[in-house]
Structure 1
Amino acid sequence: MLVWWLEMHGKIDSKMLSPKSTYCAYIVFKVQADTAYGHKHPEQKASVILGGNNSVRLVRLDDSDSDDEGGLEIPGNVLLPRERADGWKELELGEFYTDEGQDGEF
């Protein structure tokens, strides 16, 4: 299967969040196929948008040290996933800040 675009949306009621706090959004995933490809290079752009604030990061879903196909090193500004104890991986996509007294959904 080929995937050209992955877009996710989520909402949370701001009343569930602590005021004047920074939160991070993560993706938790597991790659099942040993033949998976195309998620190493180029890096992907991840963003978390809240109102007028947009947190943008360069990420790579594969955490290997180099690109097997071209031997390219991963730039220092690219975030890689971290392996969890349960065998799944997690990757920070971005962050947002909640101010005091905000109502509604984020």
Structure 2
Amino acid sequence: MDYFRLLPEGCVSDILSFTSSKDAAISFAISRGFNSAAESDLLWEKFLPEDYENISSRYVSPRICSSKKELYFSLCDSPVLMDGGTLSFSLDKKTGKKCFMISARELAIVWGVDTPWYWEWIAHPDSRFSEVAHLHTVFWLDIRGTMGTQMLSKRTRYVVYLVFKLAEEHWGLEIANAFVRFVNRVSNREAEEQASTVSLVGENASRRRNLKCPQRRVDGWMEIELGNFINDTGDDEDVEARLMEITQLHGKCGLIVQGIEFRPE
């Protein structure tokens, strides 16, 4: 017996809102206990972020969907641009938590502004943003991105990634340092002392212990973990993620940066 059919309208959506989106989708597929499209929308609206209306008001182009379920899964499968195309927003399909990627143009890149002999800003066919940052040559590599915690999902552990590619000709990117810090709680010096060692090429993984190496994403880009943090109450704080190599001061070339992504663990 399909016991969902015995419940008053609205109860089913209330019950399933405490499960995952995957469980809700399965229940919809096998049960006839959903009496109307309105009840379906009521459920899937509960899987959307509480501040979704505010977020959607900042879209570059509106996301048109025939139902809340379609909207939910479209945001899981296809990030949407907002804030004039400098930020992308999506949902994590497993948890429904918010994901954001800051475009390279919004990052603080040392020597990245008005210095085309160091960094060049170009269009890339695989990027979700209009421009990416292409490193020609620098000795001082320093990239930072900052996100306000009030935009992120509460009570959630986030992992922060640099999303990048390597040009055919690249060098000097074997070793760098990375960290994530709460700007008002942890000083730069403290964070640098606790920074992890990463490789953008992964060639030294067999020779160094505890070296983070890049992973290939489903969209064809690479990502390297910069660090993680817990967004507990979602208070109005800034979290900074930083990648740097400012000690060896050897030449570095061939890094193509799309952005920095904040994604639920």
User: Shorter-chain-normalised TM-score: which range?
Assistant: 0.7 to 0.9
Which residue of 43, 47, 60 maps to 2:179?
Answer: 47
Provide the aligned C-alpha RMSD in A.
Answer: 2.3
**1:28 aligned partner:** 163
**What corresponds to 1:19 in structure 2?**
154
Pairwise CA distance, 1:5? 2.4
2:91 paired with 1:91: no
Shift of 1:75: 1.4
Change (3 A) 1:15 1:63: same
Partner residue in 1 for 2:198:
59
2:149 and 2:234 in contact (8 A); partners too? no
Q: Flag the 1:15–1:58 CA change in 2: closer, same or farther, 3 A.
A: same
d(CA) in 2 for partners of 1:52, 1:104: 9
Unaligned runs of 5+ in 2: 1-135, 240-265
1:75 to 208, 225, 229: 208
CA distance in 1, matches of 2:219, 2:233: 36
1:9 corresponds to which letter in structure 2? R
* One-letter amino acid of the counterpart of residue 61, structure 1: L
8 Å contact 1:63–1:82 — kept in the other structure? Answer: no
Higher relative CO (CA 8 A, sep ≥ 6), structure 1 or 2? 1
How many residues are paired up?
Answer: 97
Question: Does the Cα contact within 8 Å between 1:21 and 1:98 map onto a contact in 2?
Answer: yes
For residue 70 of structure 1, what is the aligned residue in structure 2? none
- Identical aligned pairs, as a percentage? 32
Change beyond 3 A, Cα 1:83–1:74: farther
Q: TM-score, normalised by structure 1?
A: 0.73
CA distance in 2 between counterparts of 1:37 and 1:101 reads 39
* Alignment CA distance shift 1:39-1:9 (3 Å): closer
Distance 2:180 2:171 in 1: 25
What code does the residue aligned with 1:83 have?
A: R
Change beyond 3 A, Cα 1:8–1:89: same
